[in-house]
């Protein structure tokens, strides 16, 4: 018997409210100890208790639910401090968009900018 490869759980994404109409955030998924954010360019990043920390994650979850201010908060308070970049996330079936970009670049590098 061959060894089975363990696949990571894929979060279900919800469309971001984008009340201003100008957000760089397209969707989000609430996960254990964190939040996954899908940006309008197709990039998906996981933020959790290890990076950028519980306080930031709690605020990001609140802003995601409210549908306003998440992209601004990330750019001003969090920057490039994310736990990792995700690949192959699944959108919530009722909120899926037909114009998803299957050709978006996929990577799993972690940016460590804690000493910025």
Task: Give the DSSP letter string of 6-51.
Answer: PPPPPPEEEE---TTS--SEEEEEEETTEEEEEETTS-EEEEETTT
Rounded distance, CA 84 to CA 87, Å? 10
Mean pLDDT, the chain cut into blocks of 10 residues (116 residues total): 52 90 94 94 96 97 96 96 82 46 47 48
Does an H or E element contain 104, and which?
Answer: none
Predicted confidence at residue 91, as pLDDT, reads: 52
pLDDT value for 19: 87
- The closest alpha carbon to 86, from 51, 114, 47, belongs to 47
> Distances from the Cα of 18 to the Cαs of 2, 37, 39, 53, 63, in angstroms?
46, 13, 12, 24, 10
Q: Which of 28, 26, 33, 24 is nearest to 11 (CA)?
A: 28
**Predicted TM-score of the model (pTM):** 0.69
Q: What pLDDT score was predicted for residue 64?
A: 97
């Amino acid at each position: 018997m061959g060894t089975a490869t363990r696949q990571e759980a894929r979060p279900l994404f919800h469309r971001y409210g984008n009340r201003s109409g100008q957000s760089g955030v397209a969707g989000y998924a609430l996960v254990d100890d964190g939040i996954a954010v899908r940006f309008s360019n197709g990039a998906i990043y996981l933020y959790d208790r290890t990076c950028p920390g519980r306080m930031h994650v709690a605020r990001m979850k609140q802003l995601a639910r409210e549908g306003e201010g998440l992209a601004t908060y990330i750019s001003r308070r969090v920057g490039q401090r994310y736990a990792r970049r995700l690949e192959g996330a699944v959108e919530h079936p009722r909120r899926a968009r037909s114009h998803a970009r299957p050709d978006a670049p996929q990577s799993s590098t972690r940016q460590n900018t804690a000493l910025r």
